[in-house]
Amino acid sequence: MKVLIVGGGGREHALAWAVAKSPKLTKLYAAPGNAGIADVAECLDIGAEDIPAICKAVEELKIDFVIVGPEAPLVAGLADKIEAMEVPVFGPSAKAAEIEGSKGMMKDLLFKYGIPTADYERFDEPDAAKEYIRIKNKPVVVKADGLAAGKGVILSHTVTEAYAAVDQIMIEEAFGNAGDEIVIEEFLTGEEASFFALCDGERAIPLAGAQDHKQVHDGDHGPNTGGMGAYTPAPILDEKMEKRIMDEIVTPTVEGMAKEGKPYKGVLFAGLMIGEDGPKVIEFNCRFGDPECQPIMARLQSDALEMLLAAAKGELDKIKLKWDPRAALTVVMAANGYPGNYKKDTEIKGLAEADKIADVTVFHAGTKTDADGRILANGGRVLGVTALGDTVEAAQKLAYKAVDTIDWPDGFCRRDIGWRAVGR
């Protein structure tokens, strides 16, 4: 099969790395890819959101299957365009991708079908939002309704903080038109976890659960990021909890989406808060998490291409997944200054040495190769150093051994990825 992976981040490198192992694969392309993806795929100079150019490449290269990594092209309707060409595609339609593209739509769906989530209200006018906050007079979460690259969520402990969040999103337009409408919801307490399920429009099967670290600094301090590291399995997501999540959240969501005329195909990523009364949905995403995808793919022992194709074709009943029983952990290396201003085009050395360490894979998230063959940083989150170990602690030690092999003075990482699991 000729396969095209759309995207150029760490998630897409992990997918490309996994798909490249399939005996069913004859040729792998990526649009646009990155310096790491180039080791396993031919990279095309096409942006992930350039839908006409992607469709043209699918036609000219006679692509048999398309895997869409990021959310923006899915929300913009890339999967619909590919399906119209009668080419199978992994990723939901534009209507189904609204589950991430509109937080308001997602919350309305959960409420309608009795799926556990935080209480909420939707607002398209800042004064009304502030009046609601004043009356509630308790900690809330203020969210931009649309896509904001994982950054449109502001935790507010006081009324003053919540007012400032409304101003930042709706008046200062910190997240552009994603903040034309907002969702204000109750502040949930408990332990956060990421749960992934493959969906084929009718049914869903669980993938692995994971936990990530959103704050930029050790001890979960500092501003939120796209994710500074992740590990799987997560101790809180044991077999009993996984069954509850499938029964109370994933299956009713897939059934509800089908009833709404928006059958969901692809991966459903549930961001959960697990408290005393069980799991509640914080958010849904219409794609794999980044960096959660990296340790999940490291543990997958089944044929990744076969698995993703079964979801796209509505044939999940024909596959059974096999996992490495070991833990996997990813440490994200980011450019100094991230998530604020950071320098690009700084050289990274020592990657080959890190990759040679047994049970270690270095996934590229924001890299490029220059004319001299040097690997340069080309983004905020740049590398995902991933290791397997018998325990989360063993995987953690190995991952940091690899991190310390990499020579990149212009980068940094958290040194406590996996602390929740190690602490247990």
- Locate the domains of the chain by residue range: 2-90, 119-186, 191-318, 327-423
Cβ(44)–Cβ(58) below 8 Å: no
Work out whether the CA dihedral 116, 119, 124, 126 comes out positive or negative: negative
Q: Is the peptide bond before 23 cis (omega within 30 degrees of 0)?
A: no
Give the residues across from 83 on adjacent strands: none
The confidence score (pLDDT) of residue 148 equals 81
- Cα 284 to chain center, whole Å? 10
For domain 119-186, the CATH architecture is 2-Layer Sandwich (3.30)
DSSP 173-237: -TTGGGGSSEEEEE---SEEEEEEEEEESS-EEEEEEEEE--EEETTTEEEE-S-SEEEES-TTS
The pairing of beta strand 182-186 with beta strand 140-144: antiparallel
The confidence score (pLDDT) of residue 62 equals 98
Q: Tell me the CA distances in angstroms from 267 to 203, 318, 390, 401, one per residue in order.
A: 12, 17, 27, 32
The confidence score (pLDDT) of residue 153 equals 87
Cβ(42)–Cβ(27) below 8 Å: yes
2-90 carries CATH number 3.30.70.660 = no
DSSP 375-407: EEE-SSEEEEEEEEESSHHHHHHHHHHHHTT-B
Assigned CATH topology for domain 191-318: D-amino Acid Aminotransferase; Chain A, domain 1 (3.30.470)
Angle, CA of 122, 124 and 129, to the nearest 5°: 65
pLDDT tens for each residue of 401-424: 999 999 999 999 999 999 988 877
The confidence score (pLDDT) of residue 420 equals 87
Q: How many residues does the chain have?
A: 424
H/E element holding 52? Answer: helix 51-60
The confidence score (pLDDT) of residue 37 equals 98
Class of CATH domain 327-423: alpha beta
Rg of the chain, C-alpha, whole Å: 21
The confidence score (pLDDT) of residue 149 equals 73
Contacts of 297 (CB under 8 A, 6+ apart): 14, 15, 17, 18, 304
- Kindly give the parts of the chain with pLDDT less than 70: 150
pTM: 0.94
The confidence score (pLDDT) of residue 308 equals 98
Cβ(78)–Cβ(51) below 8 Å: yes
Q: Which amino acid is at 158?
A: T
Contacts of 352 (CB under 8 A, 6+ apart): none
Cβ(267)–Cβ(204) below 8 Å: no
Looking at residue 38, what DSSP letter applies? G
